[in-house]
Structure 1
Amino acid sequence: MLTFIAGQMMKLTVRWLNTGNADALLRMCSKDMRFVFPGRSPLSGDFRGKPEIREWIHRWHALGAVLQVHSFAVGGWPWNLRLYYRFTDTIPIPGKPDYVRSGSQFIRIKWGVVREYWIFVDDPMTEVVEAGLL
């Protein structure tokens, strides 16, 4: 049952992310949520709180990126739920083939409120593409 509910919520949040609906996404987050995108790309950072995370969502959406989830796993109890998933996102590059990268995400949820969110992308070209140099 928990896996079904988490899967439905994930479908909804991916739709919100792909359409740039930051307000809907942030309603699920705690005021002091931590959002981490490790690396050296323009999107990388350790963001705290809804205002910083809202700006990140807008920057990601401005790339025209589209996220697609391939598989996920849920563990824990409602007071300390962990959600992991594997994804690809596609970034369109005018005049060139779309850039497709893969990664995984870890989300920690307490009683239905997102507290922590980590994105891991194994991609040496991230900096170049996100900077618009490719």
Structure 2
Amino acid sequence: MYHAIVRRNLRNSFADVNRGNYAAIVRQFTPDAEHWFSGAHALSGGRDTAEQIQRWYDRLAEVMPDLRFELKKVVAKGWPWDTVAFAEWVDHLTDREGNRYSNQGVHVVRIKWGKITELHIYCDTELLESVLDKLGEQGVGEAVATPVGSPGPFREARVGR
């Protein structure tokens, strides 16, 4: 029963993202949560404060205002004090010129007593980087900005690009 609740909550969280309700997402994190996105781009790197996590979601909303997720699988394992959940997804978005893009990936979520302590996001980062570069060319400055929080381990390769 507990794992069904976790899976439902994750589905509801993705529905909140699809509605642009990022405030509901940010409230789910513990104050010392780790929020990490793979790659070397404006959304990559790690955040470990509530303020940084809020800024990251503000950036996401600005860069990809029509971002929508389609969940493929949601799996949860563990006890209420140490749960790991995986959400496999396909996303869809449109750039400022009307070009459509889609990516696929997975969220790995660690939960303790109903609050997110870790979120790691993995996707096709080469594709995402190309979309962000295109958005930057279209005048979306946040799409090519320095990551919020600590840069990912490969950020140095793209600085000044």
Q: TM-score, normalised by structure 1?
A: 0.90
In terms of fraction of residues, the more helix-rich structure is 2
C-alpha separation between the residues in 2 aligned to 1:41 and 1:97? 20
Deviation at 1:96, TM superposition (A): 4.6
Deviation at 1:74, TM superposition (A): 0.7
C-alpha separation between the residues in 1 aligned to 2:86 and 2:97? 34
**Cα 1:22/1:93, change in 2 over 3 Å:** closer
| 1:11 paired residue number | 11
Query: Structure 2: any 5+ residue segments left out of the alignment?
Result: 139-161
- Tell me the number of residue pairs that the alignment of Structure 1 and Structure 2 aligns: 134
- Higher relative contact order (CA closer than 8 Å, sequence separation 6+): 2
Give 3-state SS (helix, strand or coil) of 1:105's partner. strand
C-alpha separation between the residues in 2 aligned to 1:97 and 1:22? 24
Amino acid at match of 1:8: R
The answer to whether the 8 A contact 1:32-1:115 is kept is yes
Amino acid at match of 1:111: W
| 1:35-74 mapped onto 2 (5 Å cutoff) | 35-62=35-62, 63-64=64-65, 65-74=67-76
1:51-70 per-residue CA deviation (whole Å, 9 max, x = no partner) reads 11111112112212112211
C-alpha separation between the residues in 2 aligned to 1:37 and 1:74? 20
1:14-52 per-residue CA deviation (whole Å, 9 max, x = no partner) reads 122223323221222100110000111111010111111
| 1:107 paired residue number | 109
In terms of fraction of residues, the more strand-rich structure is 1
Query: Structure 1: any 5+ residue segments left out of the alignment?
Result: none
C-alpha separation between the residues in 2 aligned to 1:68 and 1:61? 17
Identity %: 25
| 1:71-90 mapped onto 2 (5 Å cutoff) | 71-90=73-92
Q: TM-score, normalised by structure 2?
A: 0.76
